[in-house]
Structure 1
Amino acid sequence: MNGQTILLISDMRQVYLAEILTKKGMSVRCLDIRNSQTVEEQLLKLKKFLAGAAMLVLPIPVTKVPEQERLNEILNKNLANDTLVLGGCFTEEQRELLDRRGIRYLDFMEDEVVAQENAVATAEGAIAELTNHSPYNIEGAKILVTGYGNCGKAIAKKLRGLGARVTVLARRREVRKQAKEDGFYAVDFAFGPEEAMGAAMLVNTVPAPVVTRVIIKELPRDAYILDIASKPGGTDFACAKEFGIRADLVLGIPGKYAPKESAYILERSMERFAAKQKSIDR
């Protein structure tokens, strides 16, 4: 990967990524957007340096950039056609912009290898959140895991390894079948209210409104809900508050709990993407 790489720093993952890339001999320019007071200044620098960038690495998710309209305007007007763009969870507007301009881009969260490796860090961080905020031990606790994708699988398996009694709630029959084959009790969301009775914790991984009032009202009042799905999550947080149940939406867990490991995951994805683009250009 030759040429300058511009990194928008939104958490420690990008800090470590910049360190890794620099040690590999790459030219890296960091623009720190963690301070809301200086975001506009950093975006002006992005506008200035973008034309000469070989690669632009945006946050995960890209919506961590506070000024989304400003960012999109800069990308549209100042991004060179041959710059490779990487980031996490691009908005539809950004995808349309990049497609229209013919810009080659990678959504880290659509890289299956990244998704699987990230799931491990997410699961470990989720367990840390449960340990910090639930009044109960994980061992012996009844815990609901909603969704059984990469993160749901990793979380369910690690919870079981710690002695929890895990129930998986999933909408699709084939997903429930997979969960059962993996040794879990798995049911449709229609059985959510029944399964919520006596559950000490609930971990939601579904980016859709699935943890609804009918489930929440059956949870014990000292239960803890951890929602790690993309914003705004899949939990009725107002309902949880009404019933006095703590419910937290916690995003970017890998960047919070395993930022350096996550940086290596991103660096390997960047290498694969750049190599693929180079082979296409030959």
Structure 2
Amino acid sequence: MLTGLHIAVIGGDARQLEVIRKLIELDAKLSLIGFDQLDHGFTGASKEQMDEVDFSTVDSIVIPVSGTNLQGQVETIFSNEKILLTEDILKKTPEHCVVYSGISNSYLDSIVSSTNRKLVKLFERDDVAIYNAIPTVEGTIMMVIQHTDITIHNANIAVLGLGRVGMTVARTFAALGAKVRVGARRTEHIARIFDMGLTPFHLSELKNNVTDIDVCINTIPHPILSANVISKMPAHTLIIDLASKPGGTDFRYAEKRGIKALLAPGLPGIVAPKTAGQIIANVLSQLLGESLEDRKGNE
């Protein structure tokens, strides 16, 4: 239980509603910021403006999985107000206050560091990333069906990267009957791809492995699908870039070439927000519980 814990939940999308439900169930005290247009209320939680919250009593701050932008703005679909998480706000919190986000950037890192607060990036955890790979793959399947005129079965599909998402993507498309080749750099990943019964290739040979593909699915958050690579693809190739913004694709050149390239980060929140929210809520509640126990142990 999280009785006695004051948590500020700032902004978000439908996933955040599952987080709120879970935290209320565990008896936390919640201040909801950026939810003024939310139709239904939550018993045990109060909708507040940023300047109405007494941050000196806030034990934890939960922001959306996307974190903030580089100006400190927190995205929310439940308000038209511009919501900023600033260094001054964090300074008002107790020293033990922890900020929970999915990812971070230079702005968020900076204000957390300058105020000596702790930042937990949920998407860097293996358990969250692996659970999240499931709705990500389902959304990718949906996009391939919507944007191609062929079946997945017998299609030539290249998956770039064998991380936590790449592995699930490759395995699932192979199970649907696609002919899957997977590009990686690390020798152990090349070996794992071979062990999975798929066709491995080293990313240094990427240009030679896209000349006959129908779909290219990128999971690598670095420039990988350059103009040189895209120029070797058939005109009908569909590119789906699952990497975090700005992705790893030269979208300008893809458009010039007439190749459809789609940037699709955050698929779990689009195709399965309830499940994606429950994944975040379960891990977050566990972390908050551990943090509360640690504090009690140190008192």
Secondary structure of the 1:28 match is strand
Secondary structure of the 2:130 match is helix
The structure 2 residue matched to 1:13, chosen from 2, 12, 15, is 15
Runs of 4+ deviating beyond 4 Å: 64-67
Please tell me whether the aligned partners of residues 61 and 100 of structure 2 are also in contact (alpha carbons under 8 angstroms). yes
What's the CA shift for 1:172?
Answer: 2.0
- For structure 1, which segment, 268-277 or 237-246, has the greater mean C-alpha deviation from structure 2 after superposition? 268-277
Measured in 1, the distance between the counterparts of 2:202 and 2:68 equals 32
Measured in 1, the distance between the counterparts of 2:292 and 2:141 equals 40
Measured in 2, the distance between the counterparts of 1:100 and 1:150 equals 32
What's the CA shift for 1:75?
Answer: 3.8
Measured in 1, the distance between the counterparts of 2:162 and 2:88 equals 38
Secondary structure of the 1:198 match is coil
TM-score between both structures, scaled by the size of structure 1: 0.88
What's the CA shift for 1:103?
Answer: 1.7
Q: Within the alignment, does 1:109 sit opposite 2:123 as a pair?
A: yes
Secondary structure of the 1:81 match is coil
1:174-210 Cα offsets, whole Å, 9 max, x none, are 2222222222111112222221112111111000001
Q: Within the alignment, does 1:150 sit opposite 2:164 as a pair?
A: yes
Aligned partner of 1:141 in structure 2 is 155
Secondary structure of the 1:269 match is helix
Please tell me whether the aligned partners of residues 156 and 180 of structure 2 are also in contact (alpha carbons under 8 angstroms). yes
Secondary structure of the 2:86 match is helix
Query: What pairs with 1:88-103 in structure 2 (closer than 5 Å)?
Result: 88-103=102-117
Secondary structure of the 2:283 match is helix
Measured in 1, the distance between the counterparts of 2:200 and 2:117 equals 42
The gaps in structure 2 that reach 5 residues or longer are: 38-47, 75-83
Aligned partner of 1:205 in structure 2 is 219
Task: Name the amino acid aligned to 1:53.
Answer: V
Aligned partner of 2:188 in structure 1 is 174
Secondary structure of the 1:5 match is strand
What's the CA shift for 1:279?
Answer: 4.1
Matched residue count: 274
Task: Name the amino acid aligned to 2:98.
Answer: L
Secondary structure of the 1:60 match is coil
Measured in 1, the distance between the counterparts of 2:88 and 2:50 equals 8
Please tell me whether the aligned partners of residues 5 and 53 of structure 1 are also in contact (alpha carbons under 8 angstroms). yes
Q: Within the alignment, does 1:79 sit opposite 2:84 as a pair?
A: no
Aligned partner of 1:215 in structure 2 is 229
Measured in 2, the distance between the counterparts of 1:154 and 1:5 equals 34
Please tell me whether the aligned partners of residues 225 and 246 of structure 1 are also in contact (alpha carbons under 8 angstroms). yes
What's the CA shift for 1:33?
Answer: 7.0
What's the CA shift for 1:155?
Answer: 0.6
Greater percentage in helix? 1
Q: RMSD of the alignment, in Å? A: 2.3
1:53-77 Cα offsets, whole Å, 9 max, x none, are 2221111110369744942334444
The gaps in structure 1 that reach 5 residues or longer are: 36-43
Aligned partner of 1:45 in structure 2 is 49
What's the CA shift for 1:220?
Answer: 1.4
Q: Within the alignment, does 1:238 sit opposite 2:242 as a pair?
A: no
Measured in 2, the distance between the counterparts of 1:90 and 1:8 equals 15
- For structure 1, which segment, 20-29 or 128-137, has the greater mean C-alpha deviation from structure 2 after superposition? 20-29
